[in-house]
Amino acid sequence: MTVRKQLAIVLLIIGITGAIGSGAIRYFWKEFFPVQLGSRAPNFTAATLDSIPRQRSLDNYRGQVVMINVWATWCLPCRVEMPSIEALHRAYGPKGLKILAVSIDDPGTDSTIRAFVRQYGLTFEILHDAKGKISELYDVDGYPETFIVGKDGIIRKKLMSAMDWNSPEARALVDRLLTERTE
């Protein structure tokens, strides 16, 4: 066997090994690096509901306390939760809390989402992730799912169901995070 053939075989083996390793890392990524309390909130991108949609990302809010609520118009618990999120926004938005409600409704449903926003009188930022990438990125198992991110970009609370955001516990958490100093 010539040196050239030996080199080709070695390169082929390295390529196959690399492809298998890359696939395994992608497959097991969530096992090795889960999105959980204490982990850095992954950046994501979603579109505004403006007549000409603009892309927004979590990076636009770095250094701020952010509530990320992943929801859908067809989700009944989401409908129950939205009024308390609006009340939280009215109370804490002026103090610096940023609420990003990211709809995972299907593509082409912007008008349905806008009607939902009008129906509930929502005034916080509503984004649309028509491809549902945030669900994959944040390992969302059901809707609604909410992540509270501190000024340092670390996930401080993860809720896997609807919540009353007017509860003393929820407000105490927001108060604490808004007054926290970052270095």
Provide the sign of the torsion angle of the four alpha carbons 92, 78, 123, 119, taken in this order. Answer: negative
Cβ neighbour number for residue 60 with a 10 Å cutoff: 14
pTM of the model: 0.80
Expressed in angstroms, the distance from the first to the final Cα of the chain is 62
Place of tokens 């497959």: 27
Percentage of the residues of the chain whose pLDDT score is greater than 90: 71
| pLDDT bracket for residue 28 (50, 70, 90) | low
- Residues in CB range of 167: below 8 A, 6 or more apart: none
Name the helix (H) or strand (E) containing 77.
Answer: helix 76-92
| pLDDT bracket for residue 34 (50, 70, 90) | low
pLDDT tens-digit readout, 95-132? 999 999 999 999 999 999 999 999 999 999 999 999 99
